[in-house]
Structure 1
């Protein structure tokens, strides 16, 4: 039975009962009762319509169409699936000199003395020296992960790598002026997308000679093919 026919049948049946009942009412009560029923019938109609539109309990929800990857993307996906939860890259050591810290401070206009005044830091800082900005450490991630090195590209078959950002950032230990740091990347997740692959990595920034890392981040990039 069509939805319209169902409403018509139910409406005719209800109208007959309502008509017989209203004959026993006074005119004033009958007028009030009629307005009440009109509003109630409208609400009931929309309620029944919503119920009819709901899928049956046993109906399976529609399944999304599987993503078809290009051959080069599929090959890389298969390769990376075998590397989940393993270190896929360890960068070279990068020196964080006082000059580099000062240059970053000038660009970002963050010239706090804990970063740029070695004499005051030696006298007043608990670290007894200047320390790098946390955002300087993050800014060095493209270099430390070889993301900007065309000769050391970690994903050479991808036409373009897009940085989606960081899901999580922590700075367990400060980077002191003169420290060397490097990034160690562990593959966490690989997901097919329409344009290629989405790759999630946990990146630890190590400090040479220090047990605790300078930063731990979860990086998300997209590889377009």
Structure 2
């Protein structure tokens, strides 16, 4: 795991791969819980029998937004940003979904530091996030995540 203690340490990683998370299995319970939380109960996500017989993937798939919602959890496995008063999820930009995540798939987040700026004491970083699916050549998605940090 990468440990970052200051703006300067963060900046030293500009343009570099920061690492990858552990593999995380997306199961039907997680998909169902996400469907309940977001009120998105489309059958392709929550009806295994129908998805198997009528769906294009032969099984249910994770919501695209579920896979995005995993970013904070998976990011914490890649980098430990210390000496901060506050961290804010500021935005997501230019995300493209390239591959559906079938139930039971294992996913892993890769991160690369694309930009960093000191905005009057607030550190703004843009991380290129790529969610890989074990055994698949195409990623589930690629895009930029923007975090704001207030170092102590």
TM-score w.r.t. the length of structure 1 is 0.62
Cα RMSD over matched residues?
1.8
In 2, the alpha carbon distance for the partners of 1:153 and 1:189 equals 16
In 2, the alpha carbon distance for the partners of 1:80 and 1:144 equals 18
The structure with the greater share of residues assigned to helix is: 1
In 2, the alpha carbon distance for the partners of 1:192 and 1:205 equals 27
| Structure 1 residue 153, shift from structure 2 partner | 5.3
| Structure 1 residue 76, shift from structure 2 partner | 2.8
Q: Is the 8 A contact 1:173 1:212 kept in 2?
A: yes
> Could you tell me which residue of structure 2 aligns to residue 213 of structure 1?
139
**Which segments of 5 or more consecutive residues in structure 2 lack a partner in the other structure?**
none
Q: Is the 8 A contact 1:89 1:145 kept in 2?
A: no
> Could you tell me which residue of structure 2 aligns to residue 132 of structure 1?
62
In 2, the alpha carbon distance for the partners of 1:100 and 1:107 equals 10
Q: Is the 8 A contact 1:205 1:215 kept in 2?
A: yes
| 188-197 vs 132-141, which moves further | 188-197
**Cα distance, 1:154–1:89 mapped onto 2, change above 3 Å:** farther
Larger RCO (CA under 8 A, 6+ residues apart): 2
Q: Which runs of 4+ in 1 moved over 4 A?
A: none
| Structure 1 residue 221, shift from structure 2 partner | 0.8
**Which segments of 5 or more consecutive residues in structure 1 lack a partner in the other structure?**
1-72
2:10 equivalent to 1:80: yes
Q: Is the 8 A contact 2:18 2:79 kept in 1?
A: no
Q: Deviations over 1:39-62 (max 9, x none)?
A: xxxxxxxxxxxxxxxxxxxxxxxx
2:14 alignment partner, SS class: coil
The higher radius of gyration belongs to: 1
In 1, the alpha carbon distance for the partners of 2:86 and 2:50 equals 45
TM-score w.r.t. the length of structure 2 is 0.90
In 2, the alpha carbon distance for the partners of 1:182 and 1:129 equals 20
Number of corresponding residues: 148
Q: Is the 8 A contact 2:130 2:141 kept in 1?
A: yes
Task: Determine which of 123, 127, 130 is the counterpart of 1:197.
Answer: 123
> Could you tell me which residue of structure 2 aligns to residue 182 of structure 1?
108
